[in-house]
């Protein structure tokens, strides 16, 4: 029955490798999705930055138009000053000119500010564009790497699956029934080694009786987690 213990160890080793290959296979598409999300976010940011450039430029040209309209008004009023027939009329025109000039000073500041904002937004567009180019190149790299690994991992998966069936076939019939029942959907959690009298699956201490059955290479399940137990390797006398 020592072969049974050996087979259980072997089965656990294969199950652990299968889990590892499985999780590496799942990791690939996750990495691709992460890159794709990054690109989608950058594209959204780029769209907003371009819209900001467009809107700021529109705002600036509206204000520039307003400014030049007021400039013409000021010139026009200046021309009228000499033709004034009364002091009151002169005063009214003079105040109008002053008010327009003051309004245009505010407008000039706003236009300058608009130029600054446009410049900043244009820098943001360029930055974002560069990041996007890099992210797209990164995605292409990740995709080809994942593709390459996928082929390798899938053939490893096939190899391990065969190995598992072979090892399962070596189990004595009475254990195989238990094993197949426990192994449904549990993968590497089907089995657990016992170290220092402790189940390495759930870290509960096993009973003395279970331990002595294990030493006799009999089938033993952990009473807490249900995993099939095995001793990790043949202990020489005097070894813990
Ligand atoms: Zn356990």
CATH code 1.10.287.1490 region(s) in the chain: 2-169
Query: Does position 13 have pLDDT exceeding 60, yes or no?
Result: yes
Query: Does position 42 have pLDDT exceeding 90, yes or no?
Result: yes
CA of 121 to the centre of ligand 1 (A): 61
Question: What pLDDT sits at residue 235?
Answer: 53
Query: Does position 1 have pLDDT exceeding 80, yes or no?
Result: no
DSSP type of residue 82: T
For 11-63, the DSSP string reads HHHHHHHHHHHHHHHHHHHHHHHHHHHHHHHHHHHHHHHHHHHHHHHHHHHHH
Backbone angles phi, psi at 218, to 5 degrees: -95, 155
Instruction: Indicate if the alpha-carbon torsion angle 165, 168, 173, 176 is positive or negative.
Output: negative
CA of 156 to the centre of ligand 1 (A): 29
Query: Does position 236 have pLDDT exceeding 70, yes or no?
Result: no
CA of 226 to the centre of ligand 1 (A): 6
> What is the C-alpha separation between 124 and 44, in angstroms, rounded?
13
174-229 pLDDT tens trace: 888 889 988 988 999 999 999 999 999 999 999 999 999 999 888 899 999 999 99
Question: What pLDDT sits at residue 95?
Answer: 95
CA of 197 to the centre of ligand 1 (A): 11
DSSP type of residue 233: S
Domain 2-169 has CATH 1.10.287.1490: yes
What whole-number percentage of the chain has pLDDT above 70?
Answer: 97
Q: What number of other Cβ atoms are within 10 A of residue 99's Cβ?
A: 12
Q: Give, for 221, the enclosing helix (H) or strand (E).
A: strand 220-221
102-160 pLDDT tens trace: 999 999 999 999 999 999 999 999 999 999 999 999 999 999 999 999 999 999 999 99
CA of 3 to the centre of ligand 1 (A): 22
Total-model pTM: 0.72
Backbone angles phi, psi at 194, to 5 degrees: -115, 120
Q: Average the pLDDT over each of 10-14, 78-82, 203-207 and give the range with the smallest value.
A: 78-82
CA of 202 to the centre of ligand 1 (A): 4
The answer to whether 212 touches 194, Cβ cutoff 8 Å, is no
Q: What number of other Cβ atoms are within 10 A of residue 105's Cβ?
A: 11
End-to-end CA distance of the chain: 22
CA of 5 to the centre of ligand 1 (A): 17
CA of 139 to the centre of ligand 1 (A): 43
CA of 19 to the centre of ligand 1 (A): 19
CA of 21 to the centre of ligand 1 (A): 24
CA of 137 to the centre of ligand 1 (A): 47
Paired sense of beta strands 198-199 and 191-195, if any? antiparallel
């Amino acid at each position: 029955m020592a072969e049974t213990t050996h087979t259980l160890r072997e089965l656990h080793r294969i199950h652990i490798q299968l889990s590892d290959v499985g999780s590496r296979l799942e990791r690939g598409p996750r990495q691709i999705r992460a890159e794709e999300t990054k690109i989608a976010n950058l594209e959204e940011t780029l769209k907003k930055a371009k819209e900001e450039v467009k809107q700021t430029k529109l705002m600036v040209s509206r204000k520039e138009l307003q400014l030049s309209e007021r400039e013409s008004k000021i010139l026009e009023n200046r021309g009228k000053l000499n033709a004034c027939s009364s002091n009151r009329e002169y005063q009214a025109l003079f105040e109008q000119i002053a008010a327009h000039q003051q309004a245009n000073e505010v407008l000039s500041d706003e236009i300058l500010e608009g130029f600054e904002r446009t410049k900043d937004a244009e820098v943001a567009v360029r930055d974002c564009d560069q990041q996007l180019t890099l992210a797209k190149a990164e995605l292409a790299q990740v995709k080809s790497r994942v593709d390459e690994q996928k082929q390798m991992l899938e053939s490893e998966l096939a190899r391990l699956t065969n190995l598992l069936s072979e090892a399962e076939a070596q189990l004595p019939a009475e254990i195989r029934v238990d094993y197949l029942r426990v192994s449904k959907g549990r993968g590497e959690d089907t089995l657990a080694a016992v170290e220092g009298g402790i189940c390495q699956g759930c870290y509960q201490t096993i009973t003395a009786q279970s331990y002595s059955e294990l030493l006799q290479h009999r089938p033993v399940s952990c009473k807490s987690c249900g995993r099939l137990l095995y001793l990790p390797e043949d202990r020489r006398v005097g070894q813990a």
